[in-house]
Structures are given as structure tokens and as C-alpha cells.
């Protein structure tokens, strides 16, 4: 690891300690510089601002979450329905536990999402790609009636967004959220297994919704 890379890692480590203890809003670049034994001016050589540091921390967490979810594709002996359930359940549990550990993480995630929507959209796409891969596996195995896995993965993600960032939407317990997710999943999975291709049904609903929104 080169010296600049080592310094960036040192800054990120210091920022994590500050953000998770005091909160993003109560942390200054001057404090981070002091923690890293450098001047504020030198700190700006590595990151343009505090938001950029927070975005890097969230980006790394998002990558790790996507990689963990990706492993579901490699688990042997599972049906596509089981893989999709494990994906949704693991996503819920991971994000719930991460956010539950410290509310200050929620604050930072909300700020980065609001200020850098492209970061949030990239994270959603990484997870959507895994869903699409599961749908393709189900189609190939004859489990799911899906022609356009990419489109259907978007609808599934939209339908389950509440469970991806639960503390941002409610203060329900994990047990209650898992109960609700199981019900939503049953509806989704049953629809995927029905005779008519899923994107035809969801596409018709989307078109109907678009028509209604014009009135």
C-alpha cells in the first residue's frame, strides 16, 4: 500500500471513530486532521470535504453488503424461491442490525443519500443485479415465469424497499419486520410462479398506474 493510500485509510479510520461516537454533524474537518496528526489543509489534499469521507465509508459498506448477498447465488442445493427469500431476509437483518447498533450511522446514511443520490442509486443497482440473477436462475430451472429479469427485479426492489432500510421508515421490531416481509415475499413468489410472465402482469399494473396518475 502506497503512502497516500495509507493516509487515506488512516483518515477513514479516524472518521469512523468520530462519526460513530459523536455523529457526523458534530465532527469537523479540523478535528479529523488533529486525529490524524496533520493540518486541515493537508487533510483536504486527500478528501475535498467531510461529505466525501462519509460517502467513502458508506460506499465501502454498500460494496460489502452486495458481496455478502452475492454469495447467496453460490449456495448449493437451493431453489430460486429459497435464494430470493434468503436475499430479502439477509438484506433486512444486515441493515437492521447495522443501523440499530448506533443511530448516528442512520444520520450519516441519510445525509449521504440526500446529498449524493448517485451513491444511493449505485448501491440499489448492485443489489438489484443479484435479484435479477436469482430470477434468471429461477427462469432457467422452470420455477419462475419471467422474461425480463431486470425489469422484474426493479419491481421487487420497489416492493421491498421498506425492509432494506427499516429504521428510516418505522420503529418496528425485527421480529415484526420479518413477519411482514414473509407475507410480502409470499405474494411476490406466488406471482413469479404463476402462469403469466411476471413482467407482463407488473407491466400492465405500471401502465394502469401511469394512466391513473394523469387524471
Is 213's pLDDT higher than 50? no
CATH of 1-48 given 1.10.10.10, 1.10.10.60, 3.90.1150.10, 1.10.1520.10: 1.10.10.60
The pLDDT, as a whole number, for residue 169 is: 74
The pLDDT, as a whole number, for residue 211 is: 45
Measured distance CA(178)–CA(163) in Å, rounded: 8
Phi then psi for residue 75, to 5 deg, are -70, 130
Closest among 183, 199, 173, 169 to 97, alpha carbons compared: 173
The pLDDT, as a whole number, for residue 36 is: 95
The pLDDT, as a whole number, for residue 205 is: 40
The pLDDT, as a whole number, for residue 195 is: 62
Confidence of residue 34 (pLDDT cuts 50, 70, 90): very high
Q: Express as a percent the part of the chain with pLDDT over 70.
A: 89
- CATH superfamily for 51-213 is Tetracycline Repressor, domain 2 (1.10.357.10)
Across the range 73-99, mean pLDDT stands at 93
The pLDDT, as a whole number, for residue 103 is: 75
The pLDDT, as a whole number, for residue 170 is: 78
Closest among 164, 154, 158, 150 to 65, alpha carbons compared: 164
Task: Read off the pTM.
Answer: 0.81
Across the range 92-100, mean pLDDT stands at 86
Could you state, in order of their start, the residue ranges of all structural domains in the chain?
1-48, 51-213
Average pLDDT score over the chain? 87
Of 25-39, 70-84, 99-113, the poorest mean pLDDT is in: 99-113
Q: Express as a percent the part of the chain with pLDDT over 90.
A: 66
Is 8's pLDDT higher than 80? yes
Measured distance CA(42)–CA(16) in Å, rounded: 19
Across the range 75-90, mean pLDDT stands at 96
The pLDDT, as a whole number, for residue 101 is: 76
Amino acid at each position: 500500500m502506497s503512502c497516500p493510500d495509507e493516509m487515506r485509510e488512516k483518515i477513514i479510520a479516524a472518521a469512523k471513530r468520530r462519526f460513530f461516537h459523536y455523529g457526523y454533524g458534530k465532527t469537523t474537518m479540523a478535528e479529523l486532521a488533529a486525529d490524524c496528526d496533520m493540518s486541515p489543509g493537508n487533510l483536504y489534499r486527500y478528501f475535498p470535504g467531510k461529505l466525501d469521507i462519509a460517502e467513502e465509508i458508506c460506499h465501502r459498506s454498500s460494496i460489502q453488503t452486495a458481496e455478502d448477498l452475492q454469495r447467496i447465488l453460490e449456495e448449493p442445493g437451493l431453489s430460486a424461491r429459497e435464494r430470493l427469500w434468503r436475499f430479502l431476509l439477509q438484506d433486512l437483518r444486515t441493515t437492521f442490525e447495522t443501523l440499530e447498533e448506533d443511530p448516528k450511522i442512520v444520520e450519516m446514511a441519510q445525509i449521504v443519500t440526500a446529498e449524493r443520490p448517485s451513491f444511493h442509486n449505485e448501491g440499489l443497482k448492485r443489489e438489484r443485479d443479484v435479484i435479477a440473477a436469482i430470477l434468471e436462475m429461477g427462469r432457467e430451472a422452470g420455477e419462475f415465469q419471467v422474461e425480463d429479469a431486470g425489469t422484474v427485479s426493479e419491481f421487487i426492489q420497489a416492493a421491498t424497499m421498506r425492509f432494506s432500510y427499516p429504521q428510516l421508515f418505522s420503529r418496528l421490531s425485527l421480529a415484526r419486520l420479518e413477519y411482514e416481509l414473509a407475507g410480502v415475499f409470499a405474494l411476490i413468489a406466488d406471482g413469479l410462479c404463476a402462469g403469466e410472465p411476471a413482467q407482463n402482469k407488473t407491466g400492465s399494473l405500471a401502465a394502469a398506474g401511469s394512466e391513473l396518475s394523469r387524471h
